[in-house]
Structure 1
Amino acid sequence: MTSETAVPGPSAAGTAAVGRLSTLQGAALYVGAVLGTGVIALPALAAETAGPASLLAWLALVVLSAPLAATFAALGARYPDAGGVSTYARLAFGDRTAATVGWCFYLAVPPGASAAALFGGAYVSSALGGGTPTTVITAAALMVVVTVANAVGLQVTGRIQLALAALLVVLLLLAVGLSLPHAHTANLHPFAPHGWTAVGPAAALLVWSFAGWEAITHLAAEFRRPERDLPRAAGIAVVVVGVLYLGVAFAVVTVLGPSAARSDAPLGELMARGIGGNARYLAAAAAVLLTLGAMNAYYAGAAKLGAALGRDGALPGWLTRGSVVGEVPRRSLAVVSALGFCALAGVSMAGVGPRPLVLMTTGSFVAVYAIGVAAAVRLLPRRSKGRAAAVAALVAVVALLVMSGVYLLWPLVVTGGALLYLRLNRTACGTADEAACGTAGGAART
């Protein structure tokens, strides 16, 4: 899960500077952005939803990743700007659509971060015991740590984030490699115990694991040669991510069998099968580190995004403080953190687990992908490879929109809220002086 920043448009200065990122470095960043906390829990949730047929959902999402990654790589290469999807939406459809994308990302972070915290908490309770109370307490502690760290201005460096991504790759390879000798093909039968229609809901869950192909567009201008390096980096990452995800999903189904659906810590279970029960402690420690790293990125990015949206008139102006480089957006961070704790409290009291939070978040991801891909169809040159990829991705994203079903209500509500706010703010600006309406370039004044 990543966040977008609202900016007026591509910066000439930004595109003139020569970046330093190479193809391999870019591929590593892609892998770090896409491989996240979802893989430590979603293989079990998908298996619970569709049984062994969930492997088809994983395969479908891997196949979808190719045109999706190619689309955003083409956009990043052509329009290298830190605004990412928000910038593409503005260029293709105007400020209102850009603000809507910003709202969808901003309000996807609280439920998404709460779900990530619960995933990490589940690994701790699997290792230490204590069940649901341990899971929830650990999740709350993780959210407090990340909130405090961001409030005082401490940020996990890029090198540490990449190290955490490398840790995840090693964890996945260990879990799969050590557990596969215990695989049984009998666990593939019955292949679709809940019917073939269950593959769709499983795919909707798994969108969480594949969010991030748009993330590196923020760094497009940092590549030495974006038009060459960005597509190559995306291609390498698609292969690496696809192999890892399919390997983990296959191991979860064939090694854990029906018990996979009841596991809150599938990677810990896989490692325990391979090297013994003590592996759960290793898996728990790795899960906590990965969760902290991912949540730090979510909170930091969302806090900055909220400040930028306040600056541009798409959110209340009192959130603006912190939008300048080097400032800490504490007000926006407080909103994100408070909403995250509300989401955690809601699912904890209802006893429904992280599944609704995951589906709310992935509904927003799918909506943003739809806007980003539609922008690509409009912006990229006809008969180019990028536009062909965008057309293919658009068809696939429409299918994901259908699969998301009722959970699209969340991004629809968010969209309605964004448009209503822009309308009310524009009306207020019509009767107020310019200083009361925010800084220049605000979406509400267009």
Structure 2
Amino acid sequence: MTSVAPPTQPADPQAAVGGRLDVSQGAALTIGAVLGTGVISLPALAVHAAGPASLLAWAALLLLSIPLATTFAALGARYPDGGGVSTYARRAFGARAATVVGWCFYFAIPIGAPTAAGFAGAYVADSLGGGRQTQLVATGAIIALVAAMNWFGLRVSGRVQLVIAFVLGALLLAATLVSLPHADLRNLTPFAPHGWLAVGSAAALLVWAFAGWEAVTSLSAEYRNPGRDIGRATGIAIAVISVLYLGVAFATVAVLGDHPGKAPLSDLLVLGLGEWARPVTTVVAVLLSVGAINAYFGGGARLGAALGRDGSLPAWLAHGSSAGEVPRRSLAVVTLGALTSLGVLTAGGLSLNAPLLATTGAFALVYAVGTAAALKLLPRGSWVRRGAAIGLVATLGLLILTGTHLLAPALIGAGALAWTTFRRGARPAEPAPA
């Protein structure tokens, strides 16, 4: 029988001081996790679906992301621990729920990593004039780069992420500002050419641009002062993401009109700066991928170590589960899993986007369990608890939209339940009620 490490209670928020992440690095990691590669193509897809009214979909999803972001920030500040959402589920619902949601998150990361890296890989291939082989090589290189960054700990990956966030924000802001002189307000009419219901269709497309708030919960114990810094970092991230998303979305509509190309960000840069700026889009795509995968690898590695510590995975993974340590064993599992997923997709001749909806289905389940746990753990009558209720309703709607793609997380959850069933006598003690 596989041995397990003795269970460890999550650290007390007031005692968990002395991690390595400061507010700026935490904000950069959060921005990187949420600001995915979809910002390059989704604005155009949303315009095709709803016309200028797609701006309403962007605004609505930004408003809905606020309660989700503040909910996970409040949980992280109160219960800073590498287990993230798994820790909240353990406190609220017990070990089985914690294992299921922990497995769904942990194993979804290596499954979805080739998709996140492959988007940038496609831009690299187009820029270099290569085909699928170039895309696959670039995808593997991005995964290896992010793994190397995290191998040396958050002191390195956090600083790199800070640089990436700054450069990325500057490029996206520049694309908006240099193109605005070419804006034509007549492009805003008719405002809803496909009807008002099309705003819902656009929102369904844009949902994937707002995932990531849950990814940094597993980094909560790494903040120097979680109770103070997590909320500040989240607030900065919300403000920056709102400005960048709305800026690019508005410029896409007002400048490019109702028939933008597949890469509107590239078109905006070319309009403002000339054709020489088109390769910059490749740089943006690579930075977006590296930033997003870096946050997920960092949080996922700590989640795996915490799951090993708590008995939800083999105790071998628990090495590095304490704040300030580097969970290299768990990181190696995530990296090997990501490269294996890439190998399977390559050998099968499958698109690198094939795992996309299955991965987002797993993350939607994590959102649902996390917000449900918040309703039990956060103070009654508080605004953040009311926000958790809104977030829960929104994520349940997202689960409905995911539909049959929940099969993959269901299979992962079944494996988690089998683990808890056959790990006889080794179940960790339940934590005291929050």
Structure 2 length-normalised TM: 0.81
Cα 1:241–1:149, aligned 2, differ >3 Å: closer, same or farther?
A: closer
Note if contact 1:86-1:98 (Cα within 8 Å) is conserved in structure 2: yes
Partners of 2:167 and 2:363 in 1: how far apart? 25
Partners of 1:390 and 1:154 in 2: how far apart? 29
Provide, for residues 389-435 of structure 1, a one-character-per-residue CA deviation record: whole Å limited to 9, x for no partner: 21222222222223333333332332223223322x23xx36xxxxx
Partners of 1:373 and 1:238 in 2: how far apart? 18
The structure showing larger relative contact order (alpha-carbon pairs under 8 Å, at least 6 residues apart) is 2
Deviation at 1:174, TM superposition (A): 0.7
Note if contact 2:47-2:253 (Cα within 8 Å) is conserved in structure 1: yes
Cα 1:331–1:286, aligned 2, differ >3 Å: closer, same or farther?
A: closer
Note if contact 1:15-1:81 (Cα within 8 Å) is conserved in structure 2: no
Provide, for residues 268-324 of structure 1, a one-character-per-residue CA deviation record: whole Å limited to 9, x for no partner: 222112111211222323432442343344334434534543454434566566667
Whether 1:411 and 2:398 are equivalent positions in the alignment is no
Cα 1:187–1:339, aligned 2, differ >3 Å: closer, same or farther?
A: farther
Partner of 1:97: 97
* Structure 1 gaps, min length 5: 1-5, 431-436
Partners of 1:193 and 1:364 in 2: how far apart? 34
2:364 to 363, 366, 371: 366
Amino acid in structure 1 at the alignment position of 2:77: A
Deviation at 1:85, TM superposition (A): 1.5
Secondary structure, aligned partner of 2:381:
coil
Amino acid in structure 2 at the alignment position of 1:249: A
Provide, for residues 234-283 of structure 1, a one-character-per-residue CA deviation record: whole Å limited to 9, x for no partner: 334323211211111222233334553x52x4322221121112112223
Partners of 1:277 and 1:421 in 2: how far apart? 56
Cα 1:60–1:127, aligned 2, differ >3 Å: closer, same or farther?
A: same
Matches within 5 A, 1:91-240: 91-130=91-130, 134-146=134-146, 156-185=156-185, 187-188=187-188, 199-200=199-200, 202-220=202-220, 226-227=226-227, 229-240=229-240
- CA RMSD, 1 decimal: 3.7
Partners of 2:308 and 2:221 in 1: how far apart? 25
Amino acid in structure 2 at the alignment position of 1:441: P
Deviation at 1:441, TM superposition (A): 3.0
Amino acid in structure 2 at the alignment position of 1:364: A
Cα 1:223–1:311, aligned 2, differ >3 Å: closer, same or farther?
A: closer
Partner of 2:387: 389
Cα 1:219–1:105, aligned 2, differ >3 Å: closer, same or farther?
A: closer
Deviation at 1:220, TM superposition (A): 4.5
Provide, for residues 34-83 of structure 1, a one-character-per-residue CA deviation record: whole Å limited to 9, x for no partner: 33433234334444555544333322210112211222222233323333
Greater shift after overlay, 323-332 or 116-125? Answer: 323-332
* Structure 2 gaps, min length 5: 1-5
Amino acid in structure 2 at the alignment position of 1:277: E
Cα 1:52–1:217, aligned 2, differ >3 Å: closer, same or farther?
A: same
Note if contact 2:112-2:355 (Cα within 8 Å) is conserved in structure 1: yes
Structure 1 length-normalised TM: 0.79
Secondary structure, aligned partner of 1:249:
helix
Note if contact 2:82-2:302 (Cα within 8 Å) is conserved in structure 1: no
Deviation at 1:87, TM superposition (A): 1.2
Deviation at 1:89, TM superposition (A): 0.9
Amino acid in structure 2 at the alignment position of 1:128: L
Cα 1:327–1:408, aligned 2, differ >3 Å: closer, same or farther?
A: closer
Secondary structure, aligned partner of 2:249:
helix
Cα 1:46–1:95, aligned 2, differ >3 Å: closer, same or farther?
A: farther
Partner of 1:58: 58
